[in-house]
Chain A
């Protein structure tokens, strides 16, 4: 068999993406409305954040600018899951109807092929919003701009993204075993809202759960500490990239295990 390497997958993804965007643009009204919706959603999130902050000028010892940084960080970190892995939301419907079988007839990785089908443009607005917020907070806090810090920022943003993607993979793949996986997904997705807050607000058992069981503390809190408190970075922050890769890999294996165990529907 001819080899299908990373280059092959990248080029296929690009081609599918281009075609998909082309066809989305052709539905102009749709495109405009969803762009508008995207801006409104982000604004609403931002306003909620401001109101909350108005009432609590510091949260767990974090002041406004640091919170803003964390907020921007989580927005950017959530972009990849929104843009590239949004089809996870459709998984349970396709699995239940049996339409999922179509992803198994192509000579490529099923996970890749399934995810490549949907690219959600809405994530891009979030990305722009998030970057804007980070830059603003960055200047206000007065973090120096050096190549090393920028490199760190990128690595830890990617780390944070991996955790969120993995979380959604786990949640979505439960549909291969249980009927009510919709609840699991919604719960996981809601959990991500906590990522915007310093995880030090969680006490005792919650702190343990959100760090090690459902690791949302890794979606923004631990990775961002590397930038925010460079003199006092917890060990968990430093090893979070490794954790992220491991956690993503496990979620991928879990997802693929679901595909293998799943025996499709009749007819």
Chain B
């Protein structure tokens, strides 16, 4: 590929991925039928996506359900071959040499543990150390770094099968960084976690990114993750890239939007998004006052959550 500076961790050019979906049949007879069936339909999961992720960046790869995020990550990790287009991860084509690519990446799929189910975490770590041929010194340094970032003692000697979802996710993230890969992919790592575990995990990711300059590609539906971790976001919808820039840029773009919060007579807060360019905030408050007594008013800058929602809704039209 030309036009590269050498500072890229991941490069994608015009990447497409189509799935051929067979209309499958049940049972033994159905299976035999499937073998010869030509009853396919094509699903385009990723359409012509071009993007670059630089070394050391944490980017949020966002999009509504079914947008094609996980599919993109599977291509970047080398388990799926793109239908067309080019991908380079750490300067190499991931699909061409899966094993080599795997040495230089870490992957976490939320709610899908990759650790040995019956082994205590520390034993899994040791096996991973050997699998990735990590020198003992580097391994110990990494464990020390983990200790300084998060309390790993409660999980270290527990078999994975006895862990809670949160502990398991934490363990999976630690395992993904263990061989100090230049790039780590996190697909919905905070799904199903409580607020305190979420913030622990965010701090951990941030700390590791800072210490090791690891590039992180993160997909999530939780804008708290985005606010805490990502400066830049890429949004895809229906397989197409619809946004790629800094979050601040996005907020400026929606700069005229305000979140208006009103405390009504029954002490409930009502929330609405107002575009100051088209609507006057005072008008809205006065109109509302006619219906109910208003106890308190707050006007806030638009939240990331609402910006993203606007974009998803906008592209749905």
Interface residues of A (CB under 8 A from B): 1-2, 4, 11-12, 15-16, 19-20, 23-24, 98-99, 101-102, 104-109, 117, 177-181, 183, 263-264, 266-267
Contact = CB atoms under 8 A, between A and B. Distances in A.
Listed from nearest, the 4 A-B pairs whose CB atoms lie closest are A180-B31, A178-B31, A107-B102, A102-B114
A183 B119 CA distance: 32
Interface in B105-119: 105, 107, 109, 112-114, 116, 118-119
A198 to B, nearest CB: 31
Contact of B24 (A102, A109, A179): A179
Interface string B297-314: 000000000000000000
Contact of B99 (A107, A117, A267): A107
A2 B78 CA distance: 19
24 contacts: A1-B103, A2-B133, A12-B127, A12-B131, A16-B116, A20-B116, A20-B119, A101-B112, A102-B109, A105-B107, A108-B99, A108-B131, A109-B99, A178-B32, A179-B31, A180-B26, A180-B28, A180-B31, A181-B31, A183-B28, A183-B31, A263-B19, A264-B74, A266-B66
Nearest to B126: A15
Contacts of B213: none
A1 B123 CA distance: 25
B56 interface: no
A101 B79 contact: yes
Contacts of A99: 112
B27 interface: yes
Contacts of B133: 2, 4
A101 B30 contact: no
B246 to A, nearest CB: 28
Given A19-B123, A179-B30, A180-B28, 19 more contacts: A1-B100, A11-B130, A15-B126, A15-B127, A19-B127, A24-B118, A101-B109, A102-B112, A104-B102, A105-B77, A105-B79, A108-B131, A178-B32, A178-B34, A178-B35, A179-B31, A180-B27, A181-B31, A264-B74
Nearest to B99: A107
B116 A19 contact: yes
B152 interface: no
Nearest to A180: B31
Interface of B: 19, 24-28, 30-32, 34-35, 66, 70, 74, 77-80, 98-100, 102-103, 105, 107, 109, 112-114, 116, 118-119, 123, 126-127, 130-133, 159
Contacts of B113: 102
B114 A105 contact: yes
Given A19-B119, A23-B119, A180-B30, A106 B131 contact: yes
Nearest to A103: B114
Given A102-B112, A102-B114, A177 B34 contact: yes
Contacts of B127: 12, 15-16, 19
Contacts of B32: 178, 180
B118 A23 contact: yes
Contact of B80 (A19, A102, A109, A263): A263
A216 B100 CA distance: 38
B183 to A, nearest CB: 12
B131 A177 contact: no
B21 to A, nearest CB: 9
A164 to B, nearest CB: 23
Nearest to A174: B31
A101 B80 CA distance: 10
Interface centre among A1, A177, A263 (most CB of B within 10 A): A263
Nearest to B21: A263
Contacts of A181: 31
B103 A107 contact: yes
Contacts of A107: 99-100, 102-103, 131-132
Contacts of A180: 26-28, 30-32
Given A101-B74, A263-B19, A179 B26 contact: yes
A117 to B, nearest CB: 7
A12 B119 contact: no
Contacts of A98: 112
